[in-house]
Structure 1
Amino acid sequence: MKPKAINHIVCSALAVVTLGLAAGQYADACTRILWNDNKLAVVVSRTMDWPESTEPVLTVFPRGIKRNGGHFGPVEVVKDNPLTWKSQYGSLVTTIYGVGTADGFNERGLAAHMLFFNAADFGSRDSGKPGLNGGLWAQYLLDQAATVNEALALLDKVQIVMTEARGTKTTVHLAIEDASGDSAIIEYIDGKQVVHHGREFKIMTNDPSYDEQLALLKQLDFSKPSSDTPLPGNVRPTDRFQRASYFSAMLPEPKTEREAVAGVLAIARNVSVPFGAPYKGFGIYNTEYRTVIDLTNKRYFFELTTSPNVIWAELTNFKLTAGAPVMVLSPDNIKLSGEVSGKFRKLAKAPF
């Protein structure tokens, strides 16, 4: 499915309804793999697993963009004390349905990845804190924070608000990391923030909670890895978590950036979901795309599963000063390959 006309990404409430329905009807998608202990570069990969096109658009945001965290596309979802801000840092991201950011990084080397999380519960609205709709959670941190520590400090001052359309809710958790290799997984369970902060938190999928994922991982014996080591091979989040943990622990030291990128991308492909794979009662889903971010060299790699080519862009190739244009590129173009910074085009207005 090709993205909507990019000049009119946020043109109606339909995108909001689509994202809300997707979260309510579908479940369990995506994997994140961080490689922060090699000597060459901090690289991170993620898969986007979804039963339909999320209409991804690669988007470069300059500094100085004014945002309203109370708006979810064209709809006002936080009426009491919405969070407003002006972006301090430029970023290169992948948007979802034109109403939010699913994945990306900023010019200071902070990256964020939004993954589905069935157990997400942001709690009752506390109007004493500025409210931020979940669709802009990742973008807010990329706009305002340079490090994981700064991002976590910002979250203490705001409240993430669940968005809803036609009775269905968007439920997500967030993985962040920075150019130093620091990492954090942020979940909201029973209305309380749960943070796993440290370089050791490299793998993330979906349900169950991160505590439970780690407990399940400890039950496996990966002390003597070999080709005979039994690994879970289905598409469940627990299976993907364990498989990604096993293979990421054995990545060989890269000699070049190319090898570092290839290392995490190989694992992302290993844990990707084939077309037609079944899951529980909702039918089928598959991996729509994969990304790799090189936080050391500020490069963003993108691989659409229906395209034969990997493409990439360098954030340093774009003007990020306040007043510079928003730049966009639809990756749904089979002719795209290699470095594509020059293929981006100006957008008249930021989509959100």
Structure 2
Amino acid sequence: MCTRILWNTNGHAVLTGRTMDWPESTEPVLTVFPRGMERDGGALAGTTVVGDNPLRWTSRYGSLVTTVYGAGTADGLNEAGLAAHMLYLDSTDPGPREPGTPGLQIALWIQYLLDCARTVPEALALLDTCQLVPVELRGFRATVHVALEDASGDSAIVEYLAGRRQVHHHRGYTVMTNEPAYDEQLRLLRQQVETVRGFGHDRPSSDVPVPGNVNAVDRFQRAAYFSALLPEPADDRQAVAGILAVTRNASVPFGAPYREGRFRTYNTEYRTVCDLTARRYFFELATSPNLVWAGIDRFDLGAGAPVMTLDPGAVDLVGDVSGGFTPSPAPF
């Protein structure tokens, strides 16, 4: 499930591609949130799931995101040029609830960061203000880790393992998948580099045997390999096409071997690209032949402006769909 690829060296735009791999529809809705929204970090489907002392905040920045089950945010960017992506991680464990620390249900984790931070360091500082509380969404445990990047090309991977926060903060951390934990992902990549001459550090050789299965480890190594092969683009359009090519290569096609248990594998439901330089968001549903996109600067993000949504599954959508969003009640 799920792959994230950051391209912060192309000279035109800071871009991130990601896949969402899941066994059923997550009911994705493209959603624009304005500034000034009052948030309750303990709310889920109209109930409080963190007990006493939920985190509460008011959004400082508008954002353009993809929601998951109407209960939280899975992916997106804000007007300041910060992007965030949730990927499944089976071993996620924030530890026992500490009532003295404001609680944040995990499906709202990245929305909190997008609402309140401009940069990766600002987002990381916010992690000290709350405690994550795992929840279930449609019978699935929402155990996730998060990738962050900003318009400068900075990058961070955040995980909670055995009750402790693990942060990998460096602009060189450009590829991640859902499993295993990031320390192990990096170890496996180093092992591949040592095993196959020319892979990983400099431009890889075309005769390198690249792992071709759909499990998370193979997708991580394949995404790293093809990211390193991307040619310098002539403009931002070619740059977006380049990151999309790698993201599609790391996708899980329909009918791929399905695996239960640890490192489980699901088909790709959708792909996104965040352009943090131009503040554009691209979305490609795996069941549609069309790519759509929207520019966050095309929306009224002022306090009091309506929440705007678009169903990306509409069959006639293609190209710039910024004008197709309509006012909607806030999903959370």
Please classify the TM superposition score into its range, dividing by the shorter chain length.
Answer: over 0.9
Which of 169, 183, 189 is the matching residue for 2:161? 189
Map 1:1-352 to 2 at 5 A: 29-164=1-136, 169-220=141-192, 221=196, 223=198, 225-281=204-260, 285-347=266-328, 349-352=329-332
In structure 2, what is the Cα distance between the partners aligned to 1:180 and 1:256? 18
For 2:140 and 2:291, locate their aligned partners in 1 and report how far apart those are by CA, in whole Å.
34
CA-to-aligned-CA distance 1:217-255 (integer Å, 9 cap, x gap): 111135163332111111111000000001111211111
Other structure's SS at 1:332 match: coil
Partner SS for 2:112: helix
Q: Distance in 2 between matches of 1:31 and 1:39?
A: 23
Query: Counterparts of 2:120 and 2:61 in 1: how far apart (Å)?
Result: 14
Asked whether the equivalents of residues 175 and 223 of structure 2 are also in contact (C-alpha less than 8 Å), the reply is yes
Q: Is there any run of 5+ residues in structure 2 with no aligned partner, and where?
A: none
**In structure 1, distance between residues paired with 2:3 and 2:229:** 18
SS of 1:277's equivalent?
coil
Say which SS state the counterpart of residue 266 (structure 1) adopts: helix
Letter of the 1:206 partner, please give it. Answer: N
**In the alignment, residue 90 of structure 1 is paired with which amino acid?**
G
Aligned with 2:330: secondary structure? coil
Distance (Å, rounded) in 1 between the aligned partners of 2:241 and 2:323: 23
Q: What CA distance in whole angstroms lies between the structure 2 residues aligned with 1:178 and 1:277?
A: 33
Q: For residue 345 of structure 1, what is the amino acid of its counterpart? A: T
Q: Percent identity?
A: 64
**Cα distance in 2, alignment partners of residues 181 and 111 from structure 1:** 11
Question: CA shift at 1:165, angstroms?
Answer: 6.6
- Normalization by structure 2: what TM-score? 0.94
How does the TM-score come out when normalised to structure 1?
Answer: 0.89
Q: 1:128 to 1:305 in 2, by over 3 A?
A: same
Runs (4 or more) in structure 1 with deviation over 3 Å come to 164-168
Aligned length: 323
